[in-house]
Structures are given as C-alpha cells and as structure tokens.
Structure 1
Amino acid sequence: MKFGELPLDQALGALLAHGQMLGGRRLAKGHRLTADDLAAAELAGITSLVVARLEAGDVAEDAAATALAAALAGPGAQVLAPVHGRVNIAAAADGLVQLPPAMVAAVNRVDEALTLATLPDGQRVAAGEIIATIKTITYAVPAAVLAGAVAAARPMAVAAFRPRSFGLIATSLPGTSAKALEKLELVTAARVAALGGAFAVAPSCPHEAGALAAQLRSVPGDVLLVAGASATVDRGDVIPAAIVAAGGQVLRLGMPVDPGNLLVLGVLDGRPVIGLPGCARSPKRNGFDIVLEHLAAGLPVDGALIAGLGEGGLLPEAERPQPRAVAGAPGRVGAVVLAAGRSSRFGDGHKLLALWRGQPLVAHVVDAIAAAGLPPPVVVLGHQADAVRAALAGRDVRFVMAADWADGMGRSLAAGIAAVPDDWDAALVCLADMPAVEPDLIAALAAAAGDVVAPVWNGRRGHPVRWPRSAFGRLRQLAGDAGGRAIMADHVVTEVPAPSAACLADVDTVTALSALGG
C-alpha cells in the first residue's frame, strides 16, 4: 500500500486518508475518491490530498479483519459485520470465554497492522457481549501478513452454560441459625438459576462425617454442594472425610482464590462434590462462582484447574483487613430512566402520566436530570409507550423500547443499560415515579468518587443509584423483578447524604401521590 500526498490528477480511486470537507460535504476517512470529489476539491482551491492506494496483493482493511475473525471464531462465537477495518466477535450464548494459551500474543506479533484484543480466558459473558475485536490499523495489509496472522490464530470459543442439576446439603452444629441456612439456600439458588440450572435442597444433617457421608450417597443431582457448619481446614476434617467415607475421592483442599480459599473439591460416583467456602453464603463473587461456572459450562474441573486460578485469583471487592482503594469520580455520567412498568397498584390510568405540580410524574424526573447538567437521558419505554413518549414531547431524551418489559423490572433495566452511549463511563439509574428527586442530589451522585454510588437518608439507601461501566455486563443479564441489589453486594458502595427523604419516595399509589402535596 502507498500512503502519502498526491496531486488531484493522480488521486482518482484512492482512499482519503483523513476526513475532510469538500464542496459543502464532509467525506469520511477511507472514502474512495470520485471524479466529482476531485472536481469539488479543485473548486475549493485544493491542489493535493493525502491518500492511500492499494497495490497488487494488498487486502483491504475490512476484508483483512473479517478473514482473521473467521479464523478466530470457534463454537459459541459469531463474527459481526466490519466497520472501518474493525470486526467484533460476539458470544452466541451465555457462557465462559475459552482462549488457546498464548494465541493472542502470537497473532499480535505477526505485524503491527493487524491487532487482536480479547476478554480474559474464563471470563463469564452474556449472549451478544463482545468477546474479541480485530482492528486493521492501516487501510490495507499485504496478503502475506494476513496469511501469517491467520496461521497464528486458533479458534476461541464460548462454552455455553447447559442445564445441570445441583443438590445442596448443609450441615449443622448446636446453635446453627435457621435464618443463616435460609439465606444460604436463597443465595445458592440464585447462583444456580443465573446459570440455567436446577436446584434442590436436601435436609440438613449434623456436622459429622458419618451423617454427611450417608447424605452424600442419597442426594440426587449432577453436582453435589456441601455447606459445612464450620470451615474446612484439613483433609481429615468433616467434609473431606465424609467424601472419602461415602466412597469418593478428594481432589483438592483449598484454592488460590480470595475470597474462596477454603473450598473443597471431590468426586463421588462420577459426580463433582464441592465443599463450599464460607464466603459462598454471600452473593459477592468468590472462588465458588468460578468453579460453579466451569461446571455449568460442561468444562472439566480438577485439581490442576484450581491450581491454575491463582493468576487473577485476587478477586475485586474481597473483604480483606487492609483498607480498600476507593475509585475516583468517573468521567462522563448519564442517566437511565425506567419508565416501562405497568403501575398496576396505582389503579386506573398510568401513574407516570399523573400530574404533580402541573406536569406528568415522568417529566419531573427528566427535568431534574437536565437541571443537574447531565446529558440527555435514556428513557426506557414499555407499558403505554406512545403516551409516555408524548408526555416528554419537546424534551431532549433518547427513547429505547424494552420489548420484554412485562417480564419484570430487570428486563427494563437491562434494556436501558444496553442503550447507554459508548462515551458514558457510568449510568445513574433513575425511577420515573420519583418526581421530587432533587437536581442537586443527582449532580452530587454523578460527581462523587467511588464505584457504585447511592443516596442515603436516615440510614436508608434510596434512588437514583450510579453504576460504573464495569457493572453493565451483569446489569444486562437481569431478569424478572430483580433489580441491582444483588449486584451491589459485589461492589464498594459510596453513600451520598441526601437533602431530603425524596430519594425514598417513589409513587406506587394514588395515596402516595397525594402525600407528596402540591
């Protein structure tokens, strides 16, 4: 490929190197110059242009990126359409990214003109999430360079989660709290459900090897989960001893992942047995999640796998004795307004269209966002979408329709997060039925240092809540009526004092609206 400045009479058919105004039109970089373009340039007094010209044997940027992507996309991965020399590879299903060792570096060493960036090996992804991007740096690459990159490529894949059944056994000691067991069951059920699995709870048994061994032999399920009443600290302890007494084998005691160090891995009659670390009682991500995800994806889990988890095993937001680093304030923050719900408790009519101080409820929230100086918000529509859209006529907003809004707030929130512009570093999730929320509070939440940021009034957290981009992937996976509360447990939450109780005052009923006063 030849790159450089050419006189107009030699530039026909060349690719414009940089965007430029010609004859009142802006031509994008990479535009193939026509006779009309060159005539317009001459009229503008331009005598030469910086261009790129492909030579024999060159492969154009889009074709090169597409060819490399095709060599990289393995099972569970799909190649998306090229745009300006970039081709993305997306996950075709929920699952775990699988990368051949050292492959990414091998591709990138071939030539600087072709680049490959991927998510880490083992990363959990949702269907549609980008797992790799290929960018052709120049407008074309020699065919030999492309051939070298393709030869270095190995298929990356997404191991899709598959339906599996999990049985949970909890052991107890005198004084073991029934409430703690109930929480354990709820947290574990949520983990399994998020992976598409089935979940059953066996009766609790004493924290004693013989009793647990009998339970292990009788509980159904593809995978057996054991939550001990006390931590496992030796292969002679209750859970490892019970696995052996039941006729099984202990493959690994402990794992190089924090939190999650005290996990036990065993096998009984071909079924994995997982002794849960104590942190598995919390919804925060820990080493148990990594093991659970591999099992749900049908990937082998053995002592060698666990031994290899130390690199990257220091998980975010682990509870450690040292003070945690506090994230700084994000760059660009925008707002997502959830306005898709049916408002069934409000009675006749749509509550978001009800008037307060002469304006529909939803309009107050949008106006507060504008007054706080945030960019035009993303407004999620669903129930009576046209009416809500009309209520916001004349206001600078971006609408997105949540096609499955009736399935619960989780899907509406997921749709809103999916529509967040690429240049937002964080999103403030606002409820459309909180008309009294103060612009000053919104501005303070947007500007605060921290990861997740929430307002607090008299010890109670309210809305809106600011989410960092790092949480967007999990927010896009929400379903049913689940909001972000469970995900919040995996983050350090910065609390901003609210100026009033308005951050707690969502309007669900006509009575609640009347209580706001005029």
Structure 2
Amino acid sequence: MKLIRTEDAVGQVLCHDITQIIKGVTKDAVFRKGHIIREQDIPVLLRVGKEHIYIWENNENMLHENDAADVLRAICQGEHMHASEAKEGKIELIADIDGLLMVDLDGLRRVNSLGEMMIATRPSGFVVKKGEKLCGTRIIPLVIEKEKMQRAKEAAGEKPLIQLYPLKKKTFGVVTTGSEVAKGLIQDTFTDVIVEKLGEYGCTMTAHVCPGDDAAVITQTIQNMLANGCDMVFCTGGMSVDPDDRTPLAIRNTGAQIVSYGAPVLPGAMFLAAYMPDGRPVCGLPGCVMYAKRTIFDLVLPRLLADVPVTAEWLAGLGNGGLCLNCDDCHFPNCGFGKGV
C-alpha cells in the first residue's frame, strides 16, 4: 500500500472502502475497495475528508481483481451465454438459451486448486433455462499475479470450461414389446409417459408399434422406424433378465452398438443405451420409467436431445448420487439425484 495525495490518485486502485456517514441519512461506502479512481471521483473524495488515500502501487506483474476476473470469464465462457459486468472481482455467466449445461469438471478442479481464485457452477449435465445463472467467478485478493492467471489458462485447457448445448426438438418412435399388449390383454400405459416426458421438450412421436415378443420382428420394427426418419427409438418391456425377455437381443441385432446394458441408478438399473452407426440412439427403457417419478431416463434424455454422447464411463459415474429417494414432494432437478461427481 502507498499513501498519496487524493489529487494525484487518478488511475490508482483503492485499498479499502471509503465510507460516508451523514447522521440520520446514510452510512455507506462511497467507493468500494478495488475501485479505480477517476477524475470525477476526486471532488467526492475530498468532500468526505479524504485528502490522502491508500492505493495499491502500480505493478506491471500484477492484475487488478476485475481484470483477472475477466481472465476467468474467458476460461469459462462457451457459446450461448453472456457475462455480467465485472464488479469487485466477480463475473457471472448467464444462459442465452434453454440448454444442457456441461462443465469440464477436471479443468474446473485444476483451476480452483490454484488458490486466490474460484469458479462455482451449477451441476453439470442438467437443463437450464434462458436467463438463469450458469456460474460465478471471483478473484479473492484485490490484485493477483499475472503469472498466476496464466497458470489458470493453462490449467483450464484450450476449450471453455462451460458449454451450453441447445436442446433439439427430435422425432421418436416407441416399440412396445410384449405379447400381452399386442393381443390386447392389457393396456399400454407406458407410451403415454414417454410422450409426456418428451413433449416437455417439444419432441414428437411419429411411430408407435406393438410387435409382440418375437425378437426378429422387434428388430425389424426398430429398423423400419429408423428408415422412416425417426431421430430416436425407445423400446419398452422385455428389459429384465428373464429368458423370454427379447428386447436387448432385438436391439443388438439391429446393428446398434451397445453402450451399456445396466446402469448404477435406482430406479433404472435395467436401462440399455445403444447407438446406430449413424449416431441415432436406440434405448431400452426399464419398467420403472412407467411408474416412478424420476428415473435414469430423466438423466439420459437431455443428453440425447443435445447430442451429448451417453457413454459407459458417464453411466458408471452415476452410481454416486444415482439413488433417488422417491420423495413424496418431488423437487427434481433441485435435489441430489444424478448429481454425483
């Protein structure tokens, strides 16, 4: 710190708040710590009795907190988002669209491990709405070494730490397996659930077939839906390990690559994820999707709509946080379900 005449302080950085007290009127900061003094600020400082003030000495190797915060902003900011104005070393990123928020968690940890700076985000892998905050960044000290901010850039890597992927309004087909449904012995109540969930994202069902239990017929049904332009296919029924459950075999026989048959999520352990060679997903949905409030399907669906790959590694990581408590008053996604790291 350095004490200088107020008249000589233009362009300098305040080391402390400047408070004005008027009895019965105000007691508040006229200028905050870190404020860069302007010519028009000099009369105000003199009126509150500050003929001398403490400032940070200029140092070409240091950055002011707001300038350093902008470095963090650049590290984080991907497409479809905008930044707030820098204030007291803080910048926030705001969503410009509804989309799937994805955070580079490894890069985030590396930057936050450097100290004297922080980035706090919303949970990765969940849908956010236009206008919502995505993250907040802050520089802890008033000034920070330029070299440390360079290290932050290197720790983050070349790509932005935060990405916001648009959700596409896709078409889908539903294959309702089971001879009991095909013969009309029981009513299909599963498809309505799928239509409702995807309808929330503006998606449209363009095909629905009940082919019974014959694996070859199920396979052909899936292939026909894809040939007719469905962006996604969901198969219901026949997803357990019973010998007469043919759906996993039928999906495999379409030529789809199975990502995983099974997921460490309850409800939803018997979920099957697969992709056709052209990248279109074919999924086998366990029966819990029909009756449980929230399941593996609620975690997977935003990825399918944003074209973010569902991988075996990601599915395996859902075990931490993958237990839904089935609360009477469901607050998903504002709960711990699916938020393990």
TM-score range, shorter chain: 0.7 to 0.9
Q: Output the CA distance in 2 between the equivalents of 1:234 and 1:251.
A: 21
- Which residue in 2 is equivalent to 1:337? none
Q: Structure 1 residues 300, 469: closer, same or farther in 2, change over 3 A?
A: closer
Q: Output the CA distance in 2 between the equivalents of 1:144 and 1:115.
A: 16
- Which residue in 1 is equivalent to 2:141? 138
Task: Using the TM superposition, give the Cα deviation of residue 239 of structure 1 relative to its aligned residue in structure 2, in angstroms.
Answer: 0.7
The aligned runs of 1:290-301 (5 Å cut-off) are: 290-301=299-310
- Which residue in 2 is equivalent to 1:103? 107
* CA offset digits 1:347-385 (Å, max 9, x no partner): xxxxxxxxxxxxxxxxxxxxxxxxxxxxxxxxxxxxxxx
Q: Output the CA distance in 1 between the equivalents of 2:249 and 2:281.
A: 15
* CA offset digits 1:74-114 (Å, max 9, x no partner): 233433322332111223332222222411121122231x2
Q: Output the CA distance in 1 between the equivalents of 2:281 and 2:84.
A: 37
Task: Using the TM superposition, give the Cα deviation of residue 9 of structure 1 relative to its aligned residue in structure 2, in angstroms.
Answer: 6.3
Q: Determine if the alignment matches structure 1 residue 198 to structure 2 residue 207.
A: no
Unmatched runs of 5 consecutive residues or more in structure 1: 319-323, 327-450, 453-466, 472-489, 491-518
Q: Structure 1 residues 131, 35: closer, same or farther in 2, change over 3 A?
A: closer
Q: Output the CA distance in 2 between the equivalents of 1:172 and 1:160.
A: 35
Q: Structure 1 residues 235, 287: closer, same or farther in 2, change over 3 A?
A: farther
Residue type at the aligned position of 1:312:
G
Task: Using the TM superposition, give the Cα deviation of residue 10 of structure 1 relative to its aligned residue in structure 2, in angstroms.
Answer: 9.3
Residue type at the aligned position of 1:126:
K
- Which residue in 1 is equivalent to 2:95? 91
- Which residue in 2 is equivalent to 1:149? 152
Return the match for 1:232 from 235, 240, 252: 240
8 Å CA contact retained: 1:62, 1:82: yes
Unmatched runs of 5 consecutive residues or more in structure 2: none
Q: Determine if the alignment matches structure 1 residue 118 to structure 2 residue 121.
A: yes
- Which residue in 2 is equivalent to 1:278? 287
The aligned runs of 1:354-503 (5 Å cut-off) are: 470=334
Return the match for 2:218 from 212, 223, 232: 212
Q: Output the CA distance in 2 between the equivalents of 1:205 and 1:468.
A: 34
8 Å CA contact retained: 2:176, 2:191: no
8 Å CA contact retained: 1:249, 1:266: yes
The aligned runs of 1:316-355 (5 Å cut-off) are: 317-318=325-326
Residue type at the aligned position of 1:141:
I
Q: Output the CA distance in 2 between the equivalents of 1:97 and 1:468.
A: 16
Give the stretch that moved more between structures: 219-228 or 117-126: 117-126
Return the match for 1:65 from 44, 48, 69: 69
8 Å CA contact retained: 1:16, 1:28: no
Q: Output the CA distance in 2 between the equivalents of 1:77 and 1:211.
A: 46
SS of the residue corresponding to residue 204 of structure 1 reads strand
Task: Using the TM superposition, give the Cα deviation of residue 233 of structure 1 relative to its aligned residue in structure 2, in angstroms.
Answer: 2.3
Return the match for 1:314 from 306, 323, 327: 323
Q: Determine if the alignment matches structure 1 residue 185 to structure 2 residue 191.
A: yes
Q: Structure 1 residues 160, 9: closer, same or farther in 2, change over 3 A?
A: closer
Q: Output the CA distance in 1 between the equivalents of 2:17 and 2:43.
A: 18
Task: Using the TM superposition, give the Cα deviation of residue 65 of structure 1 relative to its aligned residue in structure 2, in angstroms.
Answer: 0.9
**Which structure would you say has the larger RCO, counting Cα contacts within 8 Å and 6 or more residues apart?**
2
Length, aligned pairs only? 315
Scaled by the length of structure 1, what TM-score is found?
0.53
- Which residue in 2 is equivalent to 1:171? 177
Q: Output the CA distance in 2 between the equivalents of 1:199 and 1:225.
A: 10
- Which residue in 1 is equivalent to 2:48? 41
Scaled by the length of structure 2, what TM-score is found?
0.78
Q: Structure 1 residues 86, 211: closer, same or farther in 2, change over 3 A?
A: same
Q: Structure 1 residues 22, 238: closer, same or farther in 2, change over 3 A?
A: same
